[in-house]
Structure 1
Amino acid sequence: MDFSPHTGTIEKKRTDCLILGAYEKYKLTSSAEKIDQAADGTLSKLLKRENFKGQAGDTLLLHQLPGCRADRILLVGLGKKKTLTDKIYRKALDAAIQTIAGIPAKRTLCALLEAPVPGCDSRWKARQIALAFADGCYRFTELKSEPNALPVLAHLDLHCRDKEESETAVRGAREGHAIAAGMKLTKDLANLPGNICTPAYLADRAQQLADRYRKLKVTVLEEAEMEKLGMGALLAVSRGSRQPAKLIVLEYQGGKAKDRPTALVGKGLTFDAGGISLKPSESMDEMKYDMCGGASVLGTLLTTAELDLPLNVVGVIPASENLPDGNAIKPGDIVKTMAGKTVEILNTDAEGRLILCDALTYTERFEPKRVIDIATLTGACLVALGRHATGLLANEEDLAHTLIKAGEAALDRAWQLPLWDEFQEQLKSNFADLPNIGGREGGTITAACFLSRFTEKFTWAHLDIAGTAWNTGQNKGATGRPVPLLSQFLLDQRPE
């Protein structure tokens, strides 16, 4: 989708659809007032006749309004003007694209930049418009023999009050478009079934990114190399699969050579049947989404490269399958990690922390300034936070607060859980240095406690996206989270 600024007379702009805002009690935004004047008050009359209340997310589609050259006008409710927040604004945008996606409008003019949102400038609003519209048009039809013939919104014009706002809007729209591209890659990979999206497939897609962006380099470690490095935990998980594991390493060099990188470590479990601790069959198909952490690393690096950010970023993705087999690890087995610690496997379905611990140890060689791991790690996080917030735990408060702030700005929120020493007491084994589970209580926290044993040499945060990476039910599919959060975090790390 292309984006362009527009500063001309709005009623004279020919377009397939013009998007205008309206508040409660029939109060119009300035552009809507101009259209109403050009139409001799027809817009106001139609609002009252159609009983359009202007509540947040309300929509009203009108056709061929007199005095306006747009084929259609889409009126979007913004709620009360005095209480318009960033979240209400985004709700209005999402409602708009849901309507636009169902009509044959290839080119649309959006006049919602003018709606004042406290604490949010035109750049932020333009970013949200671009992101909402590009993401809202997403459809995964790659594997359908006859994809639905859906209309495609190819171009979005952003109405701006002057040249200065146009320049700001272009910057914001470019950022939003790049974040949406990262989310699309993340969702495309996650929505693919496990028979296609294997560890080797993930590695190939990473290489395609490197071929596309000159500042990105990819290295793929095979199982023989991992064995030499002593990655006994990662390799233990892959033993039950015929698909060989891969350790995918991406290096983005956008900053100075001496600048220490931010490292993103993403769980890339391309299918998780639970191993010998077999999962129930119901909804097991959704375990293709157990690689969403790794997919989000690829998506975030795409966004980083697309925006040419002046930073150094490293992505590390341990990719494997977790299946039952005669050679698979068993409950009670003990494996040795790359860090030298031994782990007693009490549940083979707690495999994500096993592949991540070796990947985290491997990440030490890049001397990262900070490390963030992303994983669909625990069902307990879904129980605790639902599908609204990503679980966040960290060994440094400053990093945790910065991530929370980035999530608020990106409308991709995270919620911090405690990483107290008391929870570490649940990780005791009579036979090894630690077990891979700590019991039912505080499962999300004890999983992070396990990972913390392998992050003592660097500043680290853990994002548990088990509840936010995908939707179930009628709208089943990957969400692309937490690419917006991570992208905002990296944007905030740019040098002044």
Structure 2
Amino acid sequence: MSLELAHAADFPSIADTVFIVPAGTTELPILAAADLPEAARNYVTAQLATDTKLIHLNQYSHHHYYVVAPSAEKTTPYLAAEALRKSGHQLYSHLKADKIRELYVCDLTDTGALALAEGIALTAYQFEGYKTDKKSNPATDLQKLTLVSASVTAAQVQELAGVLQGVFLARDLVNAPLNKLNATQFAERMAAAGEEVGYHTEILDLVRIEALRMGGLLAVNQGSPEPPTFTIMEYKPAGATNTKPYVLVGKGVVFDTGGLSLKPTPNSMDMMKLDMAGGATVTGVLYALAKNQIPLHVIGLVPATDNRPGGLAFAPGDVITMYSGLTVEVLNTDAEGRLLLADALAFAKKYNPELVLDFATLTGAAARAIGKEGIVAMGTVSEEQMLELKQAGHRTHERLVEFPLWDEYADHIKSDIADINNVGKGEAGAISAGKFLERFTEGYPWVHFDIAGPAYLMAPDSYRGKGGTGTAVRLTYDFLKTKV
């Protein structure tokens, strides 16, 4: 990422600085007002009295900003952190207008520096894109963010930087169009990330995928002129504390036309470069873990292809044999993501995993159920493990809504001529997709995350921005770190 995060014990007297002040402050502490003339101090005091949450002072030689922290008595620590992230987003518009290149964050609450910095940095992300007429001037963008807080260490600041780089990698991958990121290029980008931070990558090509008889991945790829890939990323540091690996599985459909069950356009197909966001999440998590040298053995599996209606494209009514040996009647070729994931989930069993987590923009039903505000989750883990995941979701504000996998939902995917079919009924579409995946997870605990709602946004939403959000990278990193 171009924005550098740093830590310092103090800040210069003449520097662009944001002060996080406690809720209820009526008069600025000396530290936040030492260089202010009386008129400026009176102005800030008057603004605080009106309950203003963001105050700006132009000192001409430098700028002071004041962010009022949420009241601890009126909110939870998780929601307070989220409020500061959003304050960081609001503040960034001022920083950009004022052409601030370096900002000090002075935390007078000792609880808010990391959250505010996170909101600023996530807002500052820009996808480089492919424009030739560059109108923005990088020379005026924020370049460095230095945190000054007694309760924050340099190690914590660098860890946050590593996590953010994982989020930005995931965003970059999701934002890239098909002609810049086909299945092979996606695999190469994952391998390049591993080279940079120190995880090993193996890319299975068409011949090896055929040898493994991954019927789901091969079926989806049949209509494409380009070959599929199956990428295996393994991060196994010498001091890993877990004896059995955590396995992350990500859907890697680099573009989804719907196949012969063609999607309508506009508003359905034109944004389908996002359909590999699950694979991007897995890549971002592996990157962040390796960058921060978290001592865990973690494996990432990303089956990738595009889904097109050309050539020998698989058709509604086809019956395919999966990697696991189960047969699937294809009723809709636009329900293709679960076919790729099913092969990868069955393949994951060979690692004797401690836990398997899969990520996919799998169903419109999940997005319709809870919108962009959360992630649908379901699985076979214990209530304690699901609670741990939900708590990580609250800490990062990437919140989970658990859907059931009751036995009755198995009826939704019954087939007359195969073991199961790939489409459920009109109701409970997200759950029937999860129930389909469950059939391929025998032998290990598993959680499925349907990120269809928050993975890609058509309009800006605070610090998540517009386009790829990198959703679930921070959540998963936070959860896995608790396992050290």
* Fold similarity call, TM over 0.5: yes
Residues 329-408 of structure 1: pairs in structure 2 closer than 5 A: 329-397=314-382, 398-408=384-394
2:146 to 147, 151, 157: 157
1:173 to 157, 160, 164: 157
* Bigger shift: residues 205-214 or 459-468: 205-214
Query: What is residue 188 of structure 1 aligned with on the other side?
Result: 172
Q: Aligned-pair distance for 1:490? A: 1.4
Higher relative contact order (CA 8 A, sep 6+): 2
Does the 8 A contact of 1:399 with 1:461 survive in 2? no
Does the 8 A contact of 2:86 with 2:119 survive in 1? no
Query: What is residue 487 of structure 1 aligned with on the other side?
Result: 477
Q: Secondary structure at the match of 1:34?
A: helix
Matched, 1:250 2:233: yes
Query: What is residue 109 of structure 2 aligned with on the other side?
Result: 115
Matched, 1:74 2:65: yes
Does the 8 A contact of 2:13 with 2:35 survive in 1? no
Residues 200-279 of structure 1: pairs in structure 2 closer than 5 A: 200-214=184-198, 216-254=199-237, 255-256=239-240, 259-279=243-263
Go from structure 1 to structure 2 and tell me whether the alpha carbon gap of 1:481 and 1:52 turns closer, same or farther (over 3 Å shift).
Answer: farther
Q: Secondary structure at the match of 1:408?
A: helix
Go from structure 1 to structure 2 and tell me whether the alpha carbon gap of 1:129 and 1:170 turns closer, same or farther (over 3 Å shift).
Answer: farther
Deviations 1:62-105 (A, max 9, x none): 2117xxxx600112243446335222232222222332233321
Query: What is residue 275 of structure 2 aligned with on the other side?
Result: 290
* Bigger shift: residues 256-265 or 292-301: 256-265
Go from structure 1 to structure 2 and tell me whether the alpha carbon gap of 1:115 and 1:313 turns closer, same or farther (over 3 Å shift).
Answer: same
Q: Aligned-pair distance for 1:159? A: 1.9
Q: Aligned-pair distance for 1:230? A: 1.4
Go from structure 1 to structure 2 and tell me whether the alpha carbon gap of 1:258 and 1:143 turns closer, same or farther (over 3 Å shift).
Answer: same
Structure 2 CA distance, aligned partners of 1:389 and 1:183? 17
1:141 to 106, 128, 136: 128
* Bigger shift: residues 316-325 or 389-398: 389-398
Give the unaligned 5+ runs of structure 1: 117-121
Query: What is residue 119 of structure 1 aligned with on the other side?
Result: none
Percent of aligned pairs sharing the same letter: 31
Q: Secondary structure at the match of 1:481?
A: coil
Q: Secondary structure at the match of 1:90?
A: helix
Q: Secondary structure at the match of 1:189?
A: helix
Q: Aligned-pair distance for 1:269? A: 0.4
Query: What is residue 183 of structure 2 aligned with on the other side?
Result: 199
Query: What is residue 311 of structure 1 aligned with on the other side?
Result: 296
What TM-score do you get using the length of structure 2 for normalisation? 0.91
Deviations 1:310-343 (A, max 9, x none): 1100000000101111311111111000110000
Structure 2 CA distance, aligned partners of 1:24 and 1:311? 39
Structure 2 CA distance, aligned partners of 1:324 and 1:242? 10
Q: Aligned-pair distance for 1:187? A: 0.5
Does the 8 A contact of 1:127 with 1:177 survive in 2? no
Does the 8 A contact of 2:364 with 2:452 survive in 1? yes
What TM-score do you get using the length of structure 1 for normalisation? 0.89
Amino acid corresponding to residue 137 of structure 2 in structure 1: A
Amino acid corresponding to residue 158 of structure 1 in structure 2: L
Q: Secondary structure at the match of 2:97?
A: coil
Does the 8 A contact of 1:35 with 1:43 survive in 2? no
Q: Secondary structure at the match of 1:309?
A: coil
Does the 8 A contact of 2:284 with 2:473 survive in 1? yes
Does the 8 A contact of 1:127 with 1:175 survive in 2? no
Does the 8 A contact of 1:23 with 1:54 survive in 2? no
Go from structure 1 to structure 2 and tell me whether the alpha carbon gap of 1:29 and 1:449 turns closer, same or farther (over 3 Å shift).
Answer: farther
Query: What is residue 434 of structure 2 aligned with on the other side?
Result: 448
Query: What is residue 39 of structure 2 aligned with on the other side?
Result: 42
What do you get for the CA RMSD once the two structures are aligned? 2.2
Amino acid corresponding to residue 106 of structure 1 in structure 2: R
Query: What is residue 14 of structure 1 aligned with on the other side?
Result: 14
Structure 1 CA distance, aligned partners of 2:62 and 2:85? 25
Question: When the two structures are aligned, how many residues end up with a matched partner?
Answer: 469
Does the 8 A contact of 2:85 with 2:118 survive in 1? no
Structure 2 CA distance, aligned partners of 1:479 and 1:391? 16
Q: Secondary structure at the match of 2:441?
A: coil
Deviations 1:106-159 (A, max 9, x none): 1111123x326xxxxx5xx44434432322211112311123224222222212
Go from structure 1 to structure 2 and tell me whether the alpha carbon gap of 1:243 and 1:278 turns closer, same or farther (over 3 Å shift).
Answer: same
Deviations 1:394-414 (A, max 9, x none): 101333222111111122211
Q: Secondary structure at the match of 1:182?
A: helix
Does the 8 A contact of 1:357 with 1:451 survive in 2? yes
Go from structure 1 to structure 2 and tell me whether the alpha carbon gap of 1:126 and 1:367 turns closer, same or farther (over 3 Å shift).
Answer: farther
Does the 8 A contact of 2:257 with 2:307 survive in 1? yes
Q: Secondary structure at the match of 2:270?
A: helix
2:118 to 117, 124, 131: 131
Go from structure 1 to structure 2 and tell me whether the alpha carbon gap of 1:98 and 1:483 turns closer, same or farther (over 3 Å shift).
Answer: farther
Q: Secondary structure at the match of 1:195?
A: helix
Matched, 1:417 2:403: yes
Go from structure 1 to structure 2 and tell me whether the alpha carbon gap of 1:472 and 1:53 turns closer, same or farther (over 3 Å shift).
Answer: farther
Structure 2 CA distance, aligned partners of 1:108 and 1:144? 29
Q: Secondary structure at the match of 1:83?
A: coil
Structure 2 CA distance, aligned partners of 1:153 and 1:37? 25
Give the unaligned 5+ runs of structure 2: none
Structure 1 CA distance, aligned partners of 2:451 and 2:241? 32
Go from structure 1 to structure 2 and tell me whether the alpha carbon gap of 1:28 and 1:338 turns closer, same or farther (over 3 Å shift).
Answer: farther
Matched, 1:467 2:453: yes
Amino acid corresponding to residue 27 of structure 1 in structure 2: T
Does the 8 A contact of 1:378 with 1:444 survive in 2? yes
Q: Secondary structure at the match of 2:312?
A: coil
Does the 8 A contact of 1:130 with 1:177 survive in 2? no
* Bigger shift: residues 255-264 or 139-148: 255-264
Query: What is residue 2 of structure 1 aligned with on the other side?
Result: 4
Structure 2 CA distance, aligned partners of 1:195 and 1:41? 59
Query: What is residue 476 of structure 1 aligned with on the other side?
Result: 466
Amino acid corresponding to residue 193 of structure 2 in structure 1: L
Does the 8 A contact of 1:126 with 1:169 survive in 2? no
